[in-house]
Chain A
Amino acid sequence: VSPAVKKITRVLIANRGEIAVRIARTLREMGITPIAVYSEVDRTAPHVRACELAVELGPAPANESYLVIDKILAAAKQTGADAIHPGYGFLSENAGFAEAVTRAGLTFIGPSADAMRVMGSKTGARRAVTAAKVPVVPGTPPMASVEEARSEAKKLGYPVMIKASSGGGGKGMRLVASEAELESAYRGARSEAKSAFGDDTVYLEKAILEPKHIEIQIFGGPDGKAVWLGERECSMQRRHQKVIEETPSPAIDEATRAAMGAVAVRAAEAVAYTGAGTCEFLFDPASKNFYFLEMNTRLQVEHPVTELCCGTDLVEAQVRVARGEPLPWRQEQIVRRGHAIEARLYAEDPSRNFMPSPGDIVDLVLPQGPGVRVDCGVASGFTVPRFYDPMIAKIAVWAEDRERARKKLLRALAETAVKGITTNGAFLRTLLAAPSFADGTYHTGSIVELMAAGSAPTSEHASVVGMLAAVVQQYRKDLEKSRQAAQGGARGGRSSAWRSIGRGGW
């Protein structure tokens, strides 16, 4: 360890849910103390239990807890943290936060505030990459009013996409097919952007129909040089929210992949980017053209598929680069092997227009076995709060090839059961089994098409077995009821085995 290297021994994780748990795991492996922050409703959340120190931030709404910079800095001071990892979402792409962390004498595990400011703003990123001769989709600067949006949309030609300037994760984004839809879409995008990012600035972009969403994972070192770690295809999206991600993409050949990688590295080096980042591209399978969409200046939700295929730990690399160490790999040392697919488990009900379904998790069964990785932010007995993102877990698999990985993920999801709340688990299996996913031709509109086609009816076999199980349960319930009635309601208290064997105590 060179003397120039910064000391990082205690890291505050300014986040919650599965990503906070995931970061805490790597920190523990590195011998670094993980520190949690939490809101009132998250006291018993897995991310708190995964850490060694924890500080309560305040009430449940994110703008009174996870988004309050002063409270997070105070928590860092109180616990003696020397660095802060922002995770994804919340403050992860807030340049003001990165600056405040540095000003407080702490290390921000992420890119510099300057790079975030340029790349984090979609309009700024477009300017920067266009200068570096990176192809972009035609678009506009931020819109001042709905009137301006209307006239700019006419110039671009419908369909257009409305996007939040400080957006990400599909929030504050709307596809507008015609002028009639513009006004309500504009208003909807702005209010969603406001509540998700605290900034309601939006801009327009020409929409490319049936595109694929392909992104390149990049990593910048302290010397301003960057490498890329393959791509991820994230075309299975619903309302611009990714649902299934995989690497490598079945749609691109080695030449396109290499061209995208080179462009992504150029974009990153243009702003002397340090740490983990992602360049998102729209890919037109017909013309094989790709367009730079935006750069995400954070660790992505779907980073596990890259880790699985590259055999790396991106969080560890983030910490090492934040300490000032050189990148752990040279470009030629990055070897991708096999195929990885990830599915996001959401607390939402696909049969009721994907309505969020917060509530108590009564029981949770997670998949196991060869090649299965689970990143989960909830636990049995935990109440999924209604205040945050509905994603509760990521199930990722690795196999030697795509078809094996697809079958493995189907198998893993069949093992998964979340009781007490509704999830999209069965819906994820429907997507993985769809012909367009199996043959790799799916695009960003595929989920809507698949939903219009209707979900497959329950098989006769499953209905019969389901009935048998339900009948046994009902029969036992009725039997128990009549037994109790016969005893006149006098119930013998069951004695707990814990009481008889646990007497010794600590």
Chain B
Amino acid sequence: MHYVALVKGGSDGTNQETAVEIQELAPFQYRITLDGKEHHVDARALRTDSLSLRVGDEIYDIESEEDPSGAGQNLLVRGELVTVEVVDVRTLHLRKAASTHSSGKGPREVRSPMPGKVVAVLAKDGDTVTEGQGLLVIEAMKMENELKSPKAGIVKKLAIQQGAVVEGNAVLCVVE
């Protein structure tokens, strides 16, 4: 089976692309080729999303979880956190085609980064805002966090009121 592995590159958002081929040789035994380099892997599931991996003679206990923001799988490898998304080649092509269409300066959603309470609404619907201007303040765990406008534009669909409780990842307004 062929895949593409995307290793997420952190804050600048660059992904490292690697062509992958996986072949099941026997139960739990795989031959995995990463950009032409072959690895012999013995993989055993421990609990949900946790693996014991033997690569050559090296043993790795790997904890993993789905990234909450959908960036792929977060894997803890000997204390280092790696985020990897594994997609098939067709999905990657479709995604690239789609992103060239929407790379313009379209409307941007402002989402709640965490569940919490809206303690201040700093902008009104229809306001013209600059990039980085504060729009709302959300409080959770005794910490206040100001949500800033992702771009210069006009605030739309801002219906949330001070005191409202919002879920994580909820759309709070749109800046066009």
A4 within 8 A of B: no
B80 to chain A, nearest CB (A): 4
Task: For A458, give its contact among B7, B18, B30, B34 (CB under 8 Å).
Answer: B7
Q: How big is the A interface, by class?
A: 35 or more
Task: For B20, give its contact among A353, A386, A417, A471 (CB under 8 Å).
Answer: A471
29 contacts between A and B (CB under 8 A): A195-B139, A354-B143, A356-B114, A357-B68, A358-B140, A362-B65, A386-B140, A386-B141, A389-B142, A421-B68, A426-B80, A457-B9, A459-B80, A462-B77, A465-B53, A466-B7, A467-B18, A467-B84, A469-B60, A469-B62, A470-B5, A470-B64, A470-B73, A470-B84, A471-B3, A472-B22, A473-B49, A473-B51, A475-B22
A296 to chain B, nearest CB (A): 18
Contact A455 B114 (CB under 8 A): no
Residues of A contacting B139 in the complex (Cβ-Cβ under 8 angstroms): 195
A415-469 residues with Cβ-Cβ distance < 8 A to B are 417, 419-422, 425-426, 429, 455, 457-459, 462-469
B123 within 8 A of A: no
Contact B34 A426 (CB under 8 A): no
Give the A-binding residues of B (Cβ under 8 A). Answer: 1, 3, 5, 7, 9-11, 16, 18, 20, 22, 24, 30, 32, 34, 39, 41, 43, 45, 47-51, 53, 55, 60, 62-65, 68, 72-73, 75-82, 84-86, 113-116, 139-145, 168
Residues of A contacting B16 in the complex (Cβ-Cβ under 8 angstroms): 463
A30 within 8 A of B: no
A184 to chain B, nearest CB (A): 11
Contact B34 A468 (CB under 8 A): yes
Task: For A388, give its contact among B62, B72, B142, B168 (CB under 8 Å).
Answer: B142
Contact B141 A356 (CB under 8 A): yes
CA distance A478 to B20 in the complex (A): 15
CA distance A362 to B55 in the complex (A): 27
Residue of B20, B41, B82 with highest tally of chain A CB at under 10 A? B82
CA distance A56 to B89 in the complex (A): 54
CA distance A171 to B50 in the complex (A): 37
Contact B142 A196 (CB under 8 A): yes
CA distance A376 to B9 in the complex (A): 31
CA distance A353 to B81 in the complex (A): 17
CA distance A504 to B173 in the complex (A): 57
A301 to chain B, nearest CB (A): 15
A456 to chain B, nearest CB (A): 9
Give the B-binding residues of A (Cβ under 8 A). Answer: 171, 191-192, 195-196, 347-348, 351-359, 362-363, 365, 386-390, 410, 413-414, 417, 419-422, 425-426, 429, 455, 457-459, 462-476, 478
Contact B22 A419 (CB under 8 A): no
Residues of A contacting B78 in the complex (Cβ-Cβ under 8 angstroms): 414, 462
Residues of B contacting A359 in the complex (Cβ-Cβ under 8 angstroms): 68, 115, 168
With A352-B113, A463-B16 known as contacts, the answer to whether A471 contacts B53 (CB < 8 A) is: no
Contact A468 B32 (CB under 8 A): yes
Contact A469 B53 (CB under 8 A): yes
Residue of B43, B85, B139, B141 with highest tally of chain A CB at under 10 A? B141
Minimal Cβ-Cβ distance residue in A for B115? A386
Residues of B contacting A387 in the complex (Cβ-Cβ under 8 angstroms): 141
3 A-B pairs with least C-beta separation: A414-B79, A466-B82, A417-B63
Residues of B contacting A388 in the complex (Cβ-Cβ under 8 angstroms): 141-142
CA distance A478 to B18 in the complex (A): 19
